[in-house]
Amino acid sequence: MPDVDRAAEAVARAEYGRLRAFLASEYGDVHDAEDALGEALLAALTSWPDTGIPNEPAAWLLTVARHRLLDRARRRGVRDGHAHAVRTLGAEAPAPAPALDETFPDRRVELLFVCAHPAIDAELHAPLMLQAVLGLTAARIAQAFLVSPAAMGQRLVRAKKRIREAGIAFQVPSAGELPARLGSVLEAIYGAYGLGHDAPAGLDAPGTDLTDEALWLARVVRDRMPEQPEVRGLLALMLFCDARRDARHSPDGRYVPLSEQDPATWSAPKIDEAEAELAEAARAGRIGRFQLEAAIQSAHVEGARSGDTDWGAIALFYDHLVRLAPTIGARVAQAAAVAEAAAPERGLALLDALDESAVGTYQPYWAVRAHLLRLLERGPEASVAYGRAIGLTEDPAVRRFLLDRQNEAPAPVEIGMPRTPSG
């Protein structure tokens, strides 16, 4: 019995995304495809103990799931008069054991394009991908995106309904549409990594606990579209960040900023893979946002290893990046880089130029601002900025790090001066 469970599970894990993507694209309905596949898995668990594990378990599941979809379409056809789906499905009635390669093409990338379609709310692109392609539960996705599990479940159901009602085509967009549509897919994968559009590029970012899933999705797209340099750029960027993840905390749980990390604690294989992807991307000769961000990471790695970071080059990369993608994260990180490359005043001027409403609750802005004010020996202002950053921090280790910095940030001019009763 456990053997059967294991076999069903193994198939589910290895083939789940492909099965689901294929069924959804064949039927045009992500929700029904999920349900049918779930029913097929249940059928496997009840019948395989008697019949034995079939030679082609994935094909077996596909056949059962198709039958369920056909039943469902018939019922819906009777109820709603939607005969079309029945005809479509009936025309390719499932064979008992279809040859996998012919009947079961990999449509996962098509499904990713559906999930990141402009008709779907951009905030749901990443959650949809994680559920539709990887089979993550709404509750698990809700944790990472800090949303109520019930609300996430409802949003996903609504988004899937929208896919069906809007009749979004399960296909790779045409050449003209591709750059923008692929951008949405990559942005969503980046969001799943926990580094959404407002993440502090180049600064040390925590990531969600879905980093492996995001890397996996990026590899699925890379394998299918190896000629797209931005896909490789994104993969390289995430690998660079991932390589340093464990170095963010010391063994006793303290936060260690990038500038104080020991490169020996980084994952060399991940960095090597990132460098290889970035080099391959560069061969296409088409620069893009993710390649630039990966190049910045590469410069940081090189600098930490050699002990001599080329801040001029990094500032230049940011200059390009901000022109391509003027996100708040990129602009804050640019200010930090310019402060290092030129002078803290120059970095501070860039921060001052940002729209106040965009930075009010943006923690990296206040952390960088506090750091620059501290370098400029503007102690009281630095302390206020540290306070804002601390209040906006989620990671307790970062909070403690910032509190320590705030405590050691007295301005020299204040030393020996009497304290005013009400600052």
Partner 1 sequence: MKYVMLIYETPEDFEARDAAGGEPYVAAWRAYYRALVDAGVFVGGGGPLAGPDAATTVQVKANRRHVQDGPFAVAKDQLGGFMILELASHDDALAWAARCPAAATGAVEVRPMNVALHRTIVEADA
Cβ distance to partner 1 smaller for residue 123 or 377: 123
Q: Kindly compute the dihedral angle of the four CA atoms of residues 395, 399, 402, 406, in this order, to the nearest 10 degrees.
A: 160
Window 341-380: contact mask with partner 1 (x via CB under 8 A): ----------------------------------------
Cα torsion 326, 328, 333, 337 to 10°: value is: 50
Greatest C-alpha distance within the chain? 88
Q: Quick one: three-class SS letters along 102-165?
A: HHCCCCHHHHHHHHCCCCCCHHHHHHHHHHHCCCCCHHHHHHHHCCCHHHHHHHHHHHHHHHHH
Q: Is 395 in the site for partner 1 (CB under 8 A)?
A: yes
Which of 274-302 are b and which e, b meaning 16 or more Cβ less than 10 Å from the residue's Cβ? bbebbebbbeeeebbbbbbbbbbbbbbbe
What per-residue string of b and e applies to 391-418 under the rule 16 or more CB within 10 Å gives b?
ebbeeebbbebbeebbeebebeeeeeee
Nearer to partner 1, 93 or 146 (CB): 146
Which of 269, 394, 417, 423 touches partner 1 by CB under 8 A? 394
User: Cβ 101 to partner 1, closest distance in Å?
Assistant: 40
Alpha-carbon span 193 to 207, nearest angstrom: 6
Contacts with partner 1: how many residues (CB under 8 A)? 20
Least distance in angstroms from the C-beta of 142 to partner 1:
6
What is each CA distance from 250 to 68, 172, 256, 258, in whole angstroms? 52, 44, 6, 12
Task: For partner 1, give the closer residue by CB, 127 or 344.
Answer: 127
SS3 173: coil
**198 forms part of the interface with partner 1 (CB under 8 A):** no
Specify the stretch interacting with partner 1 by CB under 8 A; choose among 9-17, 90-98, 138-146, 349-357.
138-146
Contact status: 396 vs partner 1 (CB under 8 A): yes
- Least Å distance, CB 402 to partner 1, is 12
Q: Of 150, 157, 166, 279, which one interacts with partner 1 (CB under 8 A)?
A: 150
Q: Are 409 and 386 in contact (CB under 8 A)?
A: yes
The minimum distance between CB 128 and partner 1, in angstroms, equals: 17
Q: Which residues are CB-neighbours of 395 under 8 A, at least 6 positions away?
A: 206, 255
Q: Give me the least distance between CB of 253 and partner 1, in Å please.
A: 9
Residue 409 to residue 123: CA distance in whole angstroms: 38
**Which are the contacts of 262, defined by CB distance < 8 A and separation ≥ 6?**
247
Would you say 76 or 399 has its CB closer to partner 1? 399
148 near partner 1 (CB under 8 A):
yes
Identify the residue among 144, 338, 339, 373 touching partner 1 (CB under 8 A). 144
Q: Which of 19, 142, 221, 231 binds partner 1 (CB under 8 A)?
A: 142
147 or 376, CB closer to partner 1?
147
CB of 20 or CB of 388, closer to partner 1: 388
Binding mask 200-239 for partner 1 (x = CB under 8 A): ------x--x------------------------------
Two structure tokens written together for 270 = 């991940």
According to the binding rule CB under 8 A, does residue 392 interact with partner 1?
Answer: yes
- Whole-number minimum distance, CB 254 to partner 1, in Å? 13
397 binds partner 1 (CB under 8 A): yes
Chain residues that interact with partner 1, rule: CB under 8 A: 142-144, 146-151, 206, 209, 249, 391-397, 399
